[in-house]
Amino acid sequence: MKSTKMVKRKSKNTKTTKRTRVAKDSRAVYLPPATQAQSQYGTFADSKQAPIHRWFQYPAGFSYRAVEYVLEEYGVAPGKIVYDPFAGTATTLVVCKSRGIESYGVEAHPFVFEVASVKTFWDYTFADLDSLAAKLIFEIQTEIGKAESIDLAQTPELVRKCFSDENLRKLLFIRARIQELEEPYRAFFTVALTCALRQASGAATGWPYIAPKKRIREKDGVQVFSKQAYQMIRDLKTIPAQFRQSPCHLVLGDARHTEFEDEKFDLSFTSPPYLNNYDYADRTRLETYFNGFASTWGDITEKVRSRLIMSATTQINRGDFDSANIISDNLREIAPDLAADLQGNVDKLSRLRLTHGGKKSYDIMVGQYFNDMTLALADNYRVLKPGSKSIWILGDSAPYGVYIPTEEILGRIALGLGFRNYAIQQLRKRGDKWKGNTQRHHVALKESILTLTK
Ligand SMILES: C[S@@+](CC[C@H](N)C(=O)[O-])C[C@H]1O[C@@H](n2cnc3c(N)ncnc32)[C@H](O)[C@@H]1O
């Protein structure tokens, strides 16, 4: 098995005596922890500085180096097709495209999809893009005085709190000018402006939270937008001409039910939402509200939250679920023992929530997460070629201190769906930043790579 090769190499490098552990089920194997260099594969740290990847600082994104590593490890070259069912801002697709490898991705969040689409379209005539950028920015600079008359009455409060009125008017003026452009330029400059918002804001809009009351130094919207747009153009120019048109297909859709044909892909590499109460719709509120895509909590629930895999209690309307019977028939059929264990944990969480002030619906979140992930894994199995690998970067979790070994549970579900085996390797420990929080559990958490073989 490929991953064993990786372990041997690691043992030589680090002189570790740790051994691969075979689980009770001989189809499962637990590999020794990854090397220090690989420990950040599940984070966006590497991608923050890398051309194209850096356009939008997506905290849920993973490292482009992880994609490079996997492509090399499994010998994926042009002629093969790679699939990322939870494409996010297209880290997998951007790496594949820059190597001439065809790739497909699915993303359910409309704003994240838009960013990913622009990041994966490189077929510009640079002379046109350069002159358009120069003209647009010149006109904005010379006519910015007109921004003073923009009425802010309809602008959502959250957006108003993130900027001074003067700066917000400038940003809205830029937005209006971009609206006048033709595609693909309109989408390109819209993404440039959207990606500039958090850099310009005077509110501490650092991920994952927006804290409008905490102020930082605000930056001039026109300058930040110009800098972002020019950086994006420079990044595009670093791409060798032969890869600018490499095929890359992104679908705004649902990884649980795709329309790809059976056995289409040679390798799947992805990172799904973690079971950690991270609300993707909330975290991108500034961007979606600014662009007029949504303007209220109810609006983003309908347009974003309700379309995503269950991974946050804010997605739950308790009345819609029966926590005592939450595990789907589908999951019960595929893995009956596991389904019973999971229902046991759900019951424990149903009792525990009554003893906590916030009464969070972690019980439903956990049950429904695995129902959703069973559908996503089943679809993934269907679209992969026999013998190919499906690789998942994941975190475990411990809502109200109840430990949920996500990677192992998904490995077991995968076996029930027909995957031949799975391997788990720890990338890093996580959750340390909450150490001082007395309200929080102290269960050690980690991020891992789960490798499935069809
Ligand atoms: C951990 S992030 C993936 C980040 C990606 N690896 C990157 O580098 O940008 C998980 C993504 O899954 C998306 N998602 C959630 N539910 C989905 C669904 N049902 N189908 C497809 N994508 C979904 C979320 O919007 C989020 O962008």
Domain ranges of the chain: 2-113+247-279+294-315+372-453, 126-238
pLDDT of the residue at 3: 40
Ligand 1 atom with the smallest distance to the CA of 308 is: 16
Q: Is 86 in the pocket of ligand 1 (CB under 6 A)?
A: yes
pLDDT above 50: residue 12: no
Tokens of 221: 């919207």
Q: Does 18 have pLDDT greater than 70? A: no
The torsion of the CA quartet 92, 415, 426, 390, rounded to 10 degrees, works out to: -20
Nearest to 221 by CA among 181, 162, 180: 162
**Ligand 1 center from residue 410 Cα (angstroms):** 17
Q: What is the pLDDT of residue 89?
A: 97
| Residues above pLDDT 70, as percent of the chain | 91
pLDDT of residue 214: 73
Ligand 1 near 89 CB (within 6 A): yes
Nearest CA to ligand 1 atom 16: 308
Contact in structure between 5 and 11 (CB atoms under 8 Å) = no
Ligand 1, closest atom to CA 376? Answer: 19
Which pLDDT belongs to residue 4? 38
DSSP 78-123: BTBEEEETT-TTTHHHHHHHTTT-EEEEEE--HHHHHHHHHHT---
Cis peptide leading into 272, omega within 30 of 0? no
Mean pLDDT of the chain: 91
Predicted confidence (pLDDT) at residue 19 exceeds the cutoff of 70: no
- Ligand 1 binding pocket includes 294 (Cβ within 6 Å): no
In the prediction, which pLDDT does 42 show?
86
> Is the CB–ligand 1 distance for residue 112 below 6 Å?
yes
Mean pLDDT of 422-449: 78
- Distance from Cα 88 to the centre of ligand 1, integer Å: 4
| Predicted model pTM | 0.92
| Closest ligand 1 atom number to CA of residue 255 | 20
Domain covering 2-113+247-279+294-315+372-453, topology = Rossmann fold (3.40.50)
Tell me which of 62-76, 180-194, 287-301, 411-425 is least confident: 287-301
Distance CA(25)–CA(22), nearest Å, equals: 8
Is 256 near ligand 1, meaning CB less than 6 Å away? yes
Among 415, 393, 412, 381, residue whose Cα is nearest residue 70 = 393
> For the residues 94-112, what does the mean pLDDT come to?
97
Q: Report pLDDT digits (tens) over 345-390.
A: 999 999 999 999 899 999 999 999 999 999 999 999 999 999 999 9
pLDDT for residue 6? 39
